[in-house]
Chain A
Amino acid sequence: MLEKIDRALGGREPDGDGLASSGVIADVAGIANRRSPWEAVQLARNIQRPHSQELIGLVFDRFQELHGDRGFGDDPAVIAGLADLGGRSVVVVAQQKGSSTEENIARSFGMPHPEGYRKAIRLFRLAEKFGLPVITFIDTPGAHPGPEAEERGQAEAIARSIQVMGELEAPVVAVVIGEGGSGGALALGVGDVVLMMQNAVYSVISPEGCAAILWRSASEAERAAKALRGAGPDLLELGVIDGLVPEPEGGAHTDRQAVAAGLRRALVAQLDRLASVPLSDLLAARYDRYREIGSFADPSAAAAEKAKPWWRRALGKAGL
């Protein structure tokens, strides 16, 4: 996917995508000790793991938070604001889990309400207006499932955020830093470049939820985690994400400074690269990035191809 952007730039040397040179793992072969999906789920949920607020403090030079969606309220599960990154102004939008039970309650365990997504949308539009790149940090078990969230249009808020990010006239880099829980995570996850921390997870449903439905038993969560293939290396192999930001052996919480430094390097490299891509190319590549995810078969297209006379097929192969 990144190659497409680079092609738009008129060809590049090897590592033109700036991933490997900034320390990002762009090939699973580069992972020495690949963790099981269930281990990744545990690491991603570890309460000691550095969460958005801490990472923002370590990664960016300055950060000023902006509050409120201008419609209903301010959602503490979403932190948004302006920051400085290597001399560049950026808009940062992040989901915030707590690092203690009290903070988790105050932050709804990182589960945004619709006003959280609408605050995000407001900040995305701000970035577009002033030509600033957007960086998002994703860390949520999912969008809040409560009745108030339904009343205020949780689904519409998520859909709208996906729509706005998809067509935003500004570069967007999204990073899953911990738990990427379904549509509530994806609502901040549409970008030109999507990265994950090495032990982050990103899935359509939680392993527990999946197990409860398909195995009719939440205790099968470990098997469900394996089946869902939502660990970083899996998603890199499946082409859903572009790279993994390395974590130390014991997980991100064992060396927070090193993790933040790695993340900063990766973000700076990607913003440098995206800054030189014309917006129209960026938007076209972003559309194609998602358009191409997924595999299907079309037997009739294959049959139609076979039914063509041999000389027409040969012409097709020769690119005529």
Chain B
Amino acid sequence: MRLRVPFVKRSESAQHLWTQCPHCGEMLFNKQLARNLNVCTKCEHHFRVGARERIEQLADRASFAEIDPTLVSMDPLGFVDQKPYPARIAESQAKTAERDAVVCGDATIGGHPVTLAAMEFSFMGGSMGTVVGEKLARAAEHARDGRRGLVIVSASGGARMQEGTIALMQLVKTVAAVTRHGKAGLPFVSVLTDPTTGGVLASYASLGDVILAEPGALIGFSGARVTSSTIGAELPEGFQRAEFLLRHGFVDQVVPRAQLRDRIAFFLGAFSRPAREMRWGV
């Protein structure tokens, strides 16, 4: 289910000062790019951002307190392809300084208390194995216990192949946990970023009370390669992009990164003010 998505590497040239926009070709000064939330200043191409940077962009200043930071994957299948699974984990840990592909914690967004989770795509493609499933389920349960909203920013190729059918079962685990959270009358805002595909889109990520997507993000169930070979033809321009999902009714809004925090805060606020005078009958 995990899909291969070409990883857009920042082609760092000129002493790591500049990044070329893969969309418009503009050379962007890194500091300026960072100040602009990693959005191209010329064409508004949204670069991928890591979990920590995402949290910094969304959470109120100094409000984030991480939960379950130390969970690490086991190797339930003894999975070996060209490398053993534990070696792949170790590589990703060294590359990202994260223990697995999601970071969770409590925060406020625009003053509203939430449990916030952000996925790290550069950790094995943000794939969901047991640790991601467990941390997201714990985040939803924790939010329910503390009567907090839940905000999950997804960036994932889907379920983690190296954990086989056990990874597939994490779809059920996460869905059940966000469902229980929702049944307690608490809001869940699902944010889909580039890319959100496969088993992550086919589970909790599609079940937000509000589903927001970043412009141009690749969002779909099947890999575009699989889909195009199924029809034996090239796919239409914009297929499986955020705007395509908006048009077909599967996301509520496509929100530019600069407006994301305020937009999430708006919905959290709106859902936290029930009309108390509303009653059934007398």
The chain A residues found within 8 Å of chain B, CB to CB, are: 143, 145-147, 149-156, 158-160, 162-163, 166-167, 182-183, 186-187, 190, 202-205, 210, 213-215, 224, 227-230, 235, 238, 240, 287, 290-291, 293-301
Q: Given A143, A160, A215, A294, which contacts B166 in the complex, CB threshold below 8 Å?
A: A294
A80 CA to B73 CA, complexed, in Å = 39
A299 touches B72 (CB 8 A): yes
Chain B interface residue number, banded: 35 or more
Q: Which residues of A contact B176 (CB under 8 A)?
A: 163, 166-167, 287, 290-291
Collect the chain B residues with CB atoms within 8 Å of residue A166's CB.
172, 175-176, 179
| Given known contacts A158-B221, A290-B176, A294-B76, A150 and B240 CB-to-CB distance under 8 angstroms | yes
User: CB within 8 A of A154: which of B134, B161, B221?
Assistant: B221
Give the complex CA separation of A214 and B157 in angstroms. Answer: 14
Distance in angstroms from A174 CB to nearest chain B CB is 11
Is there contact, CB below 8 Å, between A167 and B179? Answer: yes
- Complex Cα gap A154–B235 (Å): 17
Closest to A153 in B: B250
Tell me, yes or no, whether B35 is within 8 Å of chain A by CB.
no
B230 within 8 A of A: yes
Which of B16-24, B144-152, B201-209 is near enough to bind chain A? B201-209
Taking the complex as formed, is B227 at the interface, i.e. its CB lies under 8 A from any CB of chain A?
Answer: yes
Instruction: Name A182's contact: one of B1, B4, B81 (CB within 8 Å).
Output: B1
8 pairs from A and B in contact (CB 8 Å cutoff): A153-B249, A154-B222, A155-B221, A166-B176, A204-B159, A294-B76, A294-B129, A299-B70
Residues of B within 8 A of A (CB): 1-2, 4, 68-74, 76-77, 79-82, 129-131, 133-134, 137, 159-161, 163-173, 175-177, 179-180, 183, 198-199, 201-207, 220-223, 226-227, 230-231, 235-236, 239-240, 248-250
Q: Which residues of B contact A229 (CB under 8 A)?
A: 77, 164-165
Q: Return the contact of B69 from the options A143, A240, A300 (Cβ within 8 A).
A: A300
State how many angstroms separate the Cβ of A299 from the closest Cβ of chain B.
6
Residues of A within 8 A of B133 (CB): 294
Chain A neighbourhood of B69, CB < 8 A? 300
Q: Can you name the residue of chain B whose Cβ is closest to the Cβ of A301?
A: B70
Contact call B161/A150, Cβ cutoff below 8 A: no
Q: Are B221 and A190 in contact (CB under 8 A)?
A: no
Contact yes or no, A296 B74, CB < 8 A: yes
A contact residues around B173 at 8 Å (CB): 290-291, 293-294
User: Given the complex of chains A and B, what is the CA–CA distance between A158 and B74 in angstroms?
Assistant: 27
Collect the chain B residues with CB atoms within 8 Å of residue A290's CB.
Answer: 169, 172-173, 176
* Chain A contacts for B129, CB-based, 8 A: 294
Are A163 and B179 in touch, CB under 8 angstroms?
yes
Chain A residues whose CB sits within 8 angstroms of the CB of B220 once the complex forms: 150, 155
Name B198's closest neighbour in chain A (CB-CB): A183
Option from B172, B180, B198, B207 in Cβ contact (under 8 Å) with A160: B207
The answer to whether A155 touches B169, judged by C-beta atoms less than 8 angstroms apart, is: no
The smallest beta-carbon distance between A231 and chain B, in angstroms, is 10
Expressed in whole angstroms, the Cα–Cα distance for A190 and B172 within the complex equals 7
Contact of B2 among A159, A203, A213 (CB under 8 A): A213
The answer on a CB contact under 8 Å between A147 and B250 is: no
Residues of chain A within 8 A (CB-CB) of B168 are: 182-183, 186, 203-204
Q: Is A213's CB under 8 angstroms from B199's CB?
A: no
Complex CA distance for A154 and B73, rounded to whole angstroms: 29
A143–B205 CA distance with the chains assembled, in angstroms? 18
Q: How far is the CA of A214 from the CA of B221 in the complex (A)?
A: 19
Closest 5 CB pairs of A and B: A294-B130, A145-B222, A300-B70, A214-B81, A155-B201
Asked if B161 contacts A210 (CB within 8 A), the reply is yes
Asked whether A162 lies within 8 Å of B175 as measured between CB atoms, the reply is yes
Q: Closest B-chain residue to A114, C-beta based?
A: B221
In Å, the complex CA distance between A240 and B180 comes to 22
Q: A155-B221, A163-B175 are in contact. List 20 more A-B contacts (CB 8 A).
A: A146-B230, A147-B230, A147-B235, A147-B236, A154-B202, A183-B203, A190-B172, A204-B168, A213-B2, A215-B81, A224-B81, A228-B161, A229-B77, A238-B164, A240-B166, A290-B172, A291-B177, A294-B169, A298-B72, A300-B70
